[in-house]
Structure 1
Amino acid sequence: MNDYQYYFLCFLLYFLSTLLLKSLLKTKNPLNLPPSPPVLPIIGHLHLLGPSLFKSLHNLSNKYGPLLYLRFGATRCLAVSTASVATEIFKTNDVTFSDRPPLAFSDKLPYGRYGFFIAPYGNYWKFIKKLCNSELLSARQVEQSQAVRHEELTWFLRKVLESAERKQVLDIGAELMKLTNNSSCRVIMSMRCSDDSDEAERIRQLVKESFEVGAKVSFGDVLGPLRFLAFWLYGRKAIDLTLRYDEILERVLKQHEESPQIENEDLVDILLKVYQDDKAEFKINRTHLKAFLLDLFIAGTGTSSEAMQWTIAELINHPYVFNKVREEIKFVVGSTRLVEESDVQSLPYLQAVVKEALRLHPTVPVVIRECREACKIKEFDIPEKTMVAINVYTIMRDGKTWDYPNDFRPERFMVSSKEKENAMEYIPFGAGRRACPGSKLALSLIHTTIATMVQCFDWKVGGEGEQVKANMQVGPGITMPMAHPFKCLPVVHFNPFASSM
């Protein structure tokens, strides 16, 4: 069955689901719900959604307002597109909105809701969050893993240099994906996952299939009591994917158990200590362990590489900014060595460039939460179990907050960044207690990679002797991927390995 047949069957069968539930949806005391666009019977507002979720919600907010009550089939959704309401979600009512909605049939999957990122707010989630802050993703751990990122960045630069010497166009997106993937894998489990081995190819294929199946599984939520149909169509494949991951993760765990590292512990070593600690605050089992490792692996695979693609694309399209970053690096670092992570704190304009790129192209443009109990936002009633979609993309392009909101202007972060960074106008990694815990780790790699790409190379989008602008079209999905492969010809400006090659 192809995708179109699947979606058609879902919509068709949802008619029956809605008719069965119609009487249950009636209420004696009507709620004061937020404004809602015109709705269609049965499907609600599903017809207003396009291939890109953040763009669809952005268009709806522009037309109907920044706070909307939507219905996608059987799912109720509160769409938030303004910083003031985001403040009520992430600060005033942070605990109330600290859950994430479950997948359509998470109870039938091997890892279920054991994963940290989708786990309900409770003792397990609190324990892992505390562990992330104190051990796994702490500033100390980021510093200890600096050598790993440097080695992987060196691999990346040598690959780019080879392409430059051969005058060969490079798929930047693919190479940045390998860089982030290998960096994440080595920090997590001390192995490279994106080399040319059969194991690496298996992992790459697993990641690709995970995103494809995940989108289809998520769609099953709109079917209400008939969500089992999504499981019937794609559940077996989702289970098969998880079991294939499980095989790899079990092998990694056994290797670490048989040969634990005393020095330079990776995240698996740290987690195994917690797993084996009978006096831990929360006793995690082996499924908790593997589900969390899978979360870290998936999260570290795509988002950072997408952020770096958008950043370098913006720099290519704005040569004045590109040259200004290069001059700053030359002033601070000189012309004889490669820029390092420790230099970033002395490169404020580079930091401003990354902040501006993340403002325009957040890696997670729509942050999803779920209301744990009925509450009020502004003067409106929000029912329990309502999904909440905070459109970070729209908030960070709000013309009431940002001058020239759709323009790439890093200078805005050189003069007034502190105010906005401490408020809800700038939230590229989400906010509140469920904000991304790996933002420090991600930024450490993003800053250094962008710095070295500017320091070492000029980038020709159109090939040799030609310069066209990078295509900034966004592809479909729930993140912000580029619509087309990002390919450039690198031209050497500075070779940091010249003396050793």
Structure 2
Amino acid sequence: MADLITTVAAMILSAIFVFLFNNRKKPRNSKSIKLPPGPRKLPIIGNLHQISNPTFRCFRDLSKQYGPLMHLKLCESTLIVVSSPEMAKQMLKDLDPSFADRPPSVVADIMWYHYKGIAFCPYGDYWRQMRKLCINELLSPKMVRLFQSIRSDETARLINYLRESSGSSVNLTEKIFSHSSSITCRAAFGGISKDNETLMKLMVDSFQMGAGFEIADLFLSSRIVGTLSWTMRRLKMMRHKLDVILDDVIDWHKRNNLSGNSEFGSEDLVDVFLRVKEEGQLEFPIDNDNIKAVLYDIFIAGTESSSSTIDWTMVELLRNPQVMANAQAEVRQAWKGNNVEQNDTAYNLKYLKLVIKETLRLHPPGPILPRACNEEQVINGYTIPAGEKVLVNIWAMHRDPRYWKDPDKFEPERFENQSVDFVGGDYQFLPFGTGKRMCPGITFGLATVESALAQLLYNFDWKLPEGVGAEDLDMTETNGLSGKEAQFVCSCHSV
């Protein structure tokens, strides 16, 4: 709480500083437009004083008072918050691609090489080019099946570590995070980076800073804030560390003749990028910065989403012992007498799939979907100006009582008789987004999640540390681009 108060105070002081020293008056738009409703705005800071962490919970509470289409102003930054499936459908389907862009962010600009990756680059032909390369060479169902041996190997490492720790408390969050990052690196980079721990730390820091509420994000037009902001200096230091790591990955591939670097004796993703770069046949030529931006995208998407979903699932299972028992019984019955290490996702684990779905509902990997309006649109009589930042509150939609009975309850059985799925057509359930910018790595991520969870449930019995009850767990998410949980410690026993 003290950190939040300090942050808000710093933002308010920065706002006053900019107001006093920036005497240029901006011309007002003569066109009268009707913006969505929102809370009363104070001079200089707007609604900044009403924002708390995690922001998606705060936005949900404000939307109950001001409606599912809400306008907020945070210093110089204005944004539209969408909190209902109906509004989301209008924007992301009916008016797609008008809302297919990403909003500007100092974190994305610096850490993603001036928007040269996939996640944050403007919607258009360049985005389509890079996305297609990644899907064909890494994220297609065929490639995901090929990576079965990598998943099995890394999951076996995790299981062996836990067996050695059997009966004692383990930091499961830390081990699962490392497990997911190793799978991603081996699949995309051809091996685990020697600086993997630094890369994971950079990823965590990028996510925490990337929610769009850093001081520099609230004053994008102010050079004064950009010059004085610690955020900018910190990001530049982080970017330098990232350059060193990813340049080393690229140089290693160049030294190995651009081919045969994957574990399967063929090209990995880095090889493919280097080859097409040299061939010069792409519509949009690429250089090392383009490659590094996409590699950082892949590393983060493949690590963060999978690890947080596994982590949240284990937390919810420990809080719901009967669900844990049902999931374990299914896995142990399905794998009885079989070589599970070699074929760990070949069995149709129907109940486990329901458990994963329910975890994705309560704890979506991306609780807020950031978009930008690239041309003026009118929705329900309200004008969304071109260039406006739009935040779709996935977390709130997943807990909308109009669509979900007992929305805060962990109940996998709710999906048994529903056709609702996460492929982007059901707007009350969008853990991976929807439309043209829907996450392309769903198959890759879910294979990692199901493989790890099945092995964890098959090999161990789980419980919370001595003296800790389900009611003692703080289920409030941390703030950032993902709704990540706090560090999770539990104990396991081999069976």
TM-score past 0.5 threshold: yes
- Asked whether the equivalents of residues 137 and 268 of structure 2 are also in contact (C-alpha less than 8 Å), the reply is no
For residue 190 of structure 1, what is the aligned residue in structure 2?
190
Q: Out of 433, 442, 457, which is 1:430 matched to?
A: 433
User: How far off its partner does 1:249 sit?
Assistant: 1.3
Q: 1:137 aligns with which of 105, 126, 139?
A: 139
Counterpart code for 2:94: T
Q: Give aligned-pair identity as a percent.
A: 30
C-alpha change, 1:234 and 1:36, in structure 2 (3 Å) is closer
- The answer for unaligned runs of 5 or more in structure 1 is 494-501
Report the counterpart of residue 15 of structure 2 in structure 1.
Answer: 14
Shift of residue 420, structure 1, vs aligned partner: 7.5
Give the letter for the 2:237 counterpart: D
Match of 1:468 in 2: 469
- From the superposition, tell whether residues 435 and 301 of structure 1 become closer, same or farther in structure 2 (CA, over 3 Å): same
Pairing partner for 2:460 from 453, 457, 461: 457
Pair 1:226-2:228 in alignment: no
How far did residue 116 of structure 1 move? 1.9
Match of 2:199 among 200, 203, 218: 203
In 2, Cα distance between the equivalents of 1:27 and 1:486? 50
Deviations 1:125-153 (A, max 9, x none): 11112223333311122111111111100
Select 2:407's aligned residue among 402, 405, 408.
405
Aligned to 1:497: none
SS in 1 for 2:239: helix
CA positional deviation for 1:266: 2.1
Q: Is the 8 A contact 1:185 1:192 kept in 2?
A: yes
Q: Which region of structure 1 is more displaced relative to structure 2, 246-255 or 98-107?
A: 98-107
Change (3 A) 1:446 1:218: same
Name the SS of the counterpart of 1:24 in structure 2: coil
1: CA distance, partners of 2:96 / 2:343:
34
2:110–2:239: 8 Å Cα contact kept in structure 1?
no
Letter in structure 1 aligned against 2:250: L
- Which segment drifts farther, 101-110 or 400-409? 101-110
Looking at structure 2, the residues matched to 180 and 21 of structure 1 have their Cα atoms a distance apart, in angstroms, of: 50
What amino acid does structure 2 have at the position aligned with 1:15?
A: I
Structure 1 CA distance, aligned partners of 2:201 and 2:65?
40
User: Which residue of the other structure, out of 446, 453, 460, is the alignment partner of 1:443?
Assistant: 446
Q: Residue 282 of structure 1 aligns with which residue?
A: 284
| Contact 1:18/1:74, CA 8 A, preserved across alignment | no
Equivalence for 1:498: none
Match of 1:121 among 120, 123, 145: 123
For the pair 1:373 / 2:370, whether they are aligned, the reply is no
**SS of structure 1 residue aligned to 2:369:** strand
Measured at CA, do residues 343 and 286 of structure 1 come closer, stay the same or move farther in structure 2, by a change above 3 Å? closer
Kindly indicate whether the alpha-carbon contact (under 8 Å) linking 1:104 and 1:227 is maintained by their aligned counterparts in 2: no
Alignment size in residue pairs = 483
Change (3 A) 1:337 1:278: same
Over 3 Å counting, the alpha-carbon distance change for 1:161 and 1:227 in structure 2 is farther
- Which residue type is aligned with residue 185 of structure 1? C
> Which amino acid in structure 1 is aligned with residue 393 of structure 2?
N
Give how far 1:321 is off: 1.2
Cα pair 1:344 1:447 within 8 Å, conserved: no
The 8 Å contact of residues 17 and 224 in structure 1, kept in 2 or not, is answered as no
**RMSD of aligned alpha carbons:** 2.6
Task: Measure how far apart 1:261 and its partner are.
Answer: 3.6
| 8 Å contact kept, 1:217–1:230 | no
Between the aligned partners of 1:306 and 1:154, the Cα distance in structure 2 is 19
1:3-152 → structure 2 map (5 Å cutoff) = 8-15=9-16, 17-18=18-19, 23-24=25-26, 26-104=28-106, 111-152=113-154
One-letter amino acid matched to 1:440: T
Q: Distance in 1 between matches of 2:277 and 2:287?
A: 7
**1 CA distance for matches of 2:179 and 2:421?**
33
Structure-1 residue corresponding to 2:172? 172
Superposed displacement of residue 258, structure 1 = 2.2
Q: Give yes or no for contact 2:139–2:440 (8 Å, CA) kept in 1.
A: yes
Bigger Cα displacement from structure 2, 390-399 vs 10-19: 10-19
Structure 1 120/490 Cα, relative in aligned 2: closer, same or farther at 3 Å? same
1:353-368 paired onto structure 2 within 5 Å:
353-368=355-370
**In 1: Cα distance, 2:112 partner to 2:415 partner:** 45
- Given candidates 469, 482, 487, the residue that maps to 2:485 is 482
Query: How far has the Cα of 1:267 moved from its partner?
Result: 1.6
More moved, 292-301 vs 31-40: 292-301
Q: Against the structure 1 CA distance between its residues 473 and 242, is the aligned structure 2 distance closer, same or farther, given a 3 Å change threshold?
A: same
Q: 3-state DSSP class of the match of 2:78? A: strand
- Report the Cα offset of residue 10 of structure 1: 3.7
**In 2 relative to 1, CA 400–331 (structure 1 residues): closer, same or farther, beyond 3 Å?**
same
Separation (CA, whole Å) in 2 of partners of 1:203 and 1:34? 41
Specify whether residues 25 and 395 from structure 1 end up closer, same or farther in structure 2 by C-alpha distance, changes over 3 A only. Answer: farther
| Residue 232 of structure 2, aligned match among 232, 235, 240 | 235
CA distance in 2, matches of 1:106, 1:335: 49
Change (3 A) 1:456 1:264: farther
Aligned-residue offset at 1:239? 1.7
Structure 1 distance, partners of 2:276, 2:107, is 29
Q: Are the equivalent residues in 2 in contact too, given 1:17–1:225 (CA < 8 A)?
A: no
User: Taking structure 2 as the reference length, what is the TM-score of the superposition?
Assistant: 0.90
Question: Could you tell me how far apart the structure 1 residues matched to 2:209 and 2:289 are?
Answer: 21
| Residue type of the alignment partner of 1:281 | E
CA drift at 1:95: 0.9
Provide the C-alpha distance between the structure 1 equivalents of 2:286 and 2:348, rounded to a whole number of angstroms: 41
Q: For residue 370 of structure 2, give the secondary structure of its aligned residue in structure 1.
A: strand
